[in-house]
Amino acid sequence: MYKHILKPILFRFNPETAHNILFSLLSFLRYVPFAGSILRAIYKKDSPNLSKEVFGINFPNPVGLAGGLDKNGEFYNDMANFGFGFVEIGSLTPKPQDGNPKPRCFRVPGDRAIINRFGINNKGVKNALEHLKKERPNVIVAANISKNTSSINEEAAKDYETSFGLLYDFVDMFVINISCPNVVGLTHLQDISFLSEIIDKLLALRLYYDEYRPILLKVSPDLSHAQLDEIIDYSLRSGIDGIVAGNTTRSRDGLTSISAEKIAEIGNGGLSGAPVHKKNLELVRYIHEKSEGKLPIVGVGGIMSPEDAKAMIDAGASLVEIYSGFIYEGPGLVKRIIKHLEK
């Protein structure tokens, strides 16, 4: 239904408008009797053989929704109807922010890719908090948090602490986003001096809570091996619970369906989708091997098929996430991945 009816309609609109239409439809379905039950019957697959404990959390299956789709933390339960084992909301910032000027998202259908420079547009952490209080999650929720664009890097730790403290009692784990290529200066937070200040403060803050919430670090596929080695070493020493590998890339490698002129016309932005799978797969494998399997990894980036997901897990990922694959292949991809992993 999605690929033959809904997708052709949505792809007639620009990506951001299509996103809004999709989530308006999900909002509407909340008021349709038995809609959630029907969606679960179609898309959800119980998979006891795939349930696993990672970071001290029992995941019903290893397939999650990547951050960026439910960017305001308002549709986690709706997305759970499609069979996800967990849902990552955000990125969320302490204050609402509009992100970068439009247009800021571009499809490349010939390569099953997306280029975006949203700039972490979101309604702010307090909006997400209100939704989490009002509608308690029936799925494992990871909160992806970042700093406001207006906050200088030297004061970034305060932004992460603010969101961390507000959300702590209402989510299951945190993803610390220091690798989005669409916010000026944000990737500099991957430098160990900035990174250690942020993470050390969050780890110290966590000690004041009765319940344990895992802290994961989201890293870029554009990092050099030397940079990765520093992050892996610090992660093992500090007590970070795991790594989300990776994010969108500034590279345009793998785009073959559009001209260099068209690529230049689109301009800056992070590339996601099929062209980044190989790069993120290599990132997962490198982190797994370098950490000797001691750092649990969530593999994300370019998972467009069940085979792509299996490759991520074979490379060392404990869990996987999809985003562009959901856009191009539809919600049925989750069930297809689960069936393939059960073989």
Fold (topology level) of 2-342: TIM Barrel (3.20.20)
Per-residue model confidence (pLDDT) at position 271: 97
Q: What is the pLDDT of residue 321?
A: 98
Structural domain spans, the chain? 2-342
pTM for this entry? 0.96
Residue 179 clears pLDDT 90, i.e. is over it: no
pLDDT in tens, 65-77: 999 999 999 999 9
Report residue 185's pLDDT band, with 50, 70 and 90 as the boundaries: low
Indicate whether 173 pLDDT > 70. Answer: yes
Query: 186 vs 294, which has greater pLDDT?
Result: 294
pLDDT band at 296, cuts 50/70/90? very high
pLDDT digits (tens, 9 = 90+) for 49-59: 999 999 999 99
The Cβ of residue 162 has, within 10 Å, a number of other Cβ atoms equal to 18
Predicted confidence band of residue 155 (pLDDT cuts 50, 70, 90): confident
Q: In this structure, which amino acid lies at residue 342?
A: E
HEC string for the chain: CHHHHHHHHHCCCCHHHHHHHHHHHHHHHCCCCCHHHHHHHHHCCCCHHHCEEECCEEECCCEEECCCCCCCCCCHHHHHCCCCCEEEEEEECCCCECCCCCCCEEEEHHHCEEEECCCCCECCHHHHHHHHHHCCCCCEEEEEECCCCCCCHHHHHHHHHHHHHHHHHHCCEEEEECCCCCCCCHHHHHCHHHHHHHHHHHHHHHCCCCCCCCEEEEECCCCCHHHHHHHHHHHHHHCCCEEEECCCECCCCCCCCCCHHHHHHHCCCEEEEHHHHHHHHHHHHHHHHHCCCCCCEEEECCCCCHHHHHHHHHHCCCEEEECHHHHHHCCHHHHHHHHHHHC
HSE on the CB side for 300, CA within 13 Å? 30
Mean pLDDT of 291-309: 98
Confidence label for 187 from pLDDT (cuts 50, 70 and 90) = low
Q: Is the pLDDT of residue 260 over 70?
A: yes
pLDDT value, residue 2: 92
Mean pLDDT value of segment 291-318? 98
pLDDT, mean of residues 45-50: 95
Mean pLDDT of 104-110: 97
Query: Across the chain, what does the average pLDDT equal?
Result: 95
